[in-house]
Every structure is written in structure tokens, then in C-alpha cells.
Amino acid sequence: MAGTASVRTSALLSAFAAPVVLVATIVIAGIMAPDSYDAARQTISDLATIDPGGWVMTLGIGLSGALTIVTALGLNGVRRVARMTLMVAGVCGVLVALIPVDLNESAHLVVAGGNLGLYAVWPVTALSRSPAAPRAVGPGVSIAAAGVLLAVLGWVLYETQGGDLLGLSERICVTANLIWPLIVAFSLRRDP
């Protein structure tokens, strides 16, 4: 499959926009948050519940999930299971925004966990053993990427047990999760 045919332009643009939107809204909502909000300790879901900027964070979470869905639909150069895994991760992201932690904590944690977990395994679902496959979906790179994402997810899980850096670990995790599809999309565009 030719490089330009294996990824739609819409997927490349949405893959670029997703981390930019999320990081920008984290910064904007953080600036709007009261001094009592501690970004190192508190999650972006907590930030989404704080006025006056909570709506900004909610919008960023939902939009980054929607952009991930667009990315999944346009990554023609990866296996169907990879596109579906990424799409469900995006749907979970949208649901994280629609089910605020202060409204239904259990449901929020389920969709947030689904979002983070699916992103972490996504590189393995995109793995290709074809010699013609772009480097980003080759076995070594895919397994390494999944290892890094699972390690960062492990850090988040560790911090949920009373750690002082839950907010920081979560921000690093979600940013890394959103950057990997961008790397894959660029690889599909570049490598024939």
C-alpha cells in the first residue's frame, strides 16, 4: 500500500490536533483553576469539575477523544483490530468527558481505565511483521512503544494508591498515549 494511501490527511491532522488540544486545555483550565487545585496531585478529571474553567477541561477531554476516533478511521495502513482498538479508546475518551468524576465516579473510572488501557496496548494491535511495513508498526518499535505506554500506565496505577504525583503521572500518560498515533500516522505517510 502506498504511503499516502495508507493514511488519510484527516487522520494525520486529527492525530496532530488531539495532543495539542488536550495539552492546551489542561494549561488553560489550570490557569483558570483556583489556587487550591494541585496539578501534581489532582487529575485532569478533577480539573474538569472545578469552576470557572472546568468546562474548558471537559471540552478538551471530549474533543481529544473525538479526534482520536477520526484518526482511527483514517489509518488505513494498520490492521482493522488496531483501528477498532484506537476507535474504542477515543469513544472512552468522549465518555470520560460526558460522565464527570463528580457525577458518577465508578462509571467515570471504568471509561477512564478503558481509555488508558486501550491506548497502552494499541501499538501491539498495530504491529505488522511485513518487511514493507513502516518502521513505527514494525515488531520491535511496536513492542517498545507498548512497553513504554504500559510502564507509564503502571505509574498512574501506582499513584492511585495514595501517591503524591497522580496528576503528573496521568498528564504524562495521556500525552504519551495521544502522541503515539501521531507518530504512526507520520510513519504511514512517510514510509512507502
87-133 tens-digit pLDDT:
999 999 999 999 999 999 999 999 999 999 999 999 999 999 999 88
Rounded Cα gap, residues 170 and 42, in angstroms: 9
Longest dimension (CA), the chain: 53
This prediction's pTM: 0.94
pLDDT tier, 5 (very low <50, low <70, confident <90, very high otherwise): low
Comparing CA positions, the residue from 95, 147, 87 lying closest to residue 123 is: 147
Strand spans (E) along the chain:
none
Q: How deeply is 164 buried, as exposed, middle or buried, from its count of CB atoms within 10 A (0-12, 13-18, 19+)? A: exposed
Rounded Cα gap, residues 156 and 177, in angstroms: 13
pLDDT (tens digit per residue) in 45-94: 999 999 999 999 999 999 999 999 999 999 999 999 999 999 999 999 99
pLDDT tier, 19 (very low <50, low <70, confident <90, very high otherwise): very high
Name all contacts of 105-110 with Cβ < 8 Å and 24+ positions apart.
Answer: 108/45
Comparing CA positions, the residue from 97, 94, 96, 75 lying closest to residue 84 is: 75
Rounded Cα gap, residues 143 and 125, in angstroms: 10
Rounded Cα gap, residues 78 and 49, in angstroms: 36
- Return the domain boundaries, the chain: 9-190
